[in-house]
Structure 1
Amino acid sequence: MRITNSINTVVMICSLAGLSGCSSLVDKHIEYETVQPETFPVLRAVGYAPLSAQPGKTAGEKQLMAIKVSKLEAYRELAEQLYGQNLTSTITVKGAVAQNDGLKSQVNGLVRGAKVLKSYAVGDTYATELELDMKRVYDLYVTQVKPQKIKKISYSFK
């Protein structure tokens, strides 16, 4: 019994040593390349905010708030174009008649690289126009993530 255990241990150690040696017989080299899209669209969005409805004691404070709100609305518009909207709808029906109807919209996303084209007042409304060049977004993405695809795989035997 003791001899059998010793033989099993020796066989196990030799098997493990043999298997671990196999991995060093072949070297694998993978070569990567960066792939750039063929076209880059330019997205535009406009955000609006009413001046008189903004909180503030003076006309200047209200204008600053309207500028901020219109810019945020324009960014929301860009996020909708990039990521879409998540819609939730509810309706209550009683006796084949709609009693309560609700719709909720939500946008969630990160917008980088947008540029303000114009901010201006139109009557009692403030407007901000944004532009998002997807080439600029791609350049920002590449500097952070460095996307690659496999160009070539080569094996060499020792």
Structure 2
Amino acid sequence: MNRFAITLAVIISAFLLSGCSAYYDLAYDQQHVEWETETPDQFPILTAVGYAPIEQQQGDSQQHKDLAAIRASKLAAYRELAEQVYGQRIAGNSSVERWALTSDSFQSSVDGVIRGAEVVRTYTVGDYYATELKLDFERVHRLYQSTTRQQKIKRVVYY
């Protein structure tokens, strides 16, 4: 009989403890959250210029080289904007042998998405094409808001 009483007490204790934890979780899971959209007070405007040599472009005619240089200068300007927005990843390597530097190299890379940039103008500068870009973050903010509503918590009500 004593063994039966102990077993019964263990089962009842386990049941009561599991009931408390379920009640505790449910009490804090029921809530209502109100969200509010927040817009910054000021937006920066970034500018970038990309250059490309005309004569180094591949093409059958001068017009093809000009078009390729325009395109290359535009991509260089976009790269500069991406560097300003996301930064550059720099990887370096140096080797030393007998207390003398034998090799020293580094690489840089940029990775990012630029949305909303405007081509301000494209023009020649001597033997180069130059492209100027402008990135207005107010425009970027509006583009982002149209796809994903950025919000902050306005109020939380617990039941």
TM-score by length of 2: 0.82
Answer yes or no: is 1:99 the counterpart of 2:102.
yes
Report the equivalent of 1:73.
Answer: 76
Report the equivalent of 1:42.
Answer: 45
Q: C-alpha offsets along residues 56-105 of structure 1, whole Å, 9 cap, x if unaligned?
A: 01000000100110000000000000011101111122233222111111
Cα distance 1:27–1:93, how it changes in 2: closer, same or farther (>3 A)?
closer
Q: Structure 2: state its 5+ residue gaps.
A: none
Aligned sequence identity (%): 45
How many residues matched? 156
Letter paired with 1:104: Q
Cα distance 1:96–1:23, how it changes in 2: closer, same or farther (>3 A)?
closer
Report the equivalent of 2:145.
Answer: 142
Deviation at 1:35, TM superposition (A): 1.1
Letter paired with 1:152: R
Deviation at 1:38, TM superposition (A): 1.9
Report the equivalent of 1:83.
Answer: 86
State how far apart, in whole Å, the 2-side matches of 1:127 and 1:108 are: 22
C-alpha RMSD of matched pairs (Å): 3.0
Deviation at 1:27, TM superposition (A): 5.1
Letter paired with 2:105: G
Q: Structure 1: state its 5+ residue gaps.
A: none
Q: C-alpha offsets along residues 10-47 of structure 1, whole Å, 9 cap, x if unaligned?
A: x95xx76xx56x948x9522111011112110000000
State how far apart, in whole Å, the 1-side matches of 2:66 and 2:52 are: 10
Answer yes or no: is 1:116 the counterpart of 2:153.
no
The runs of at least 4 consecutive aligned structure 1 residues that moved more than 6 Å come to none
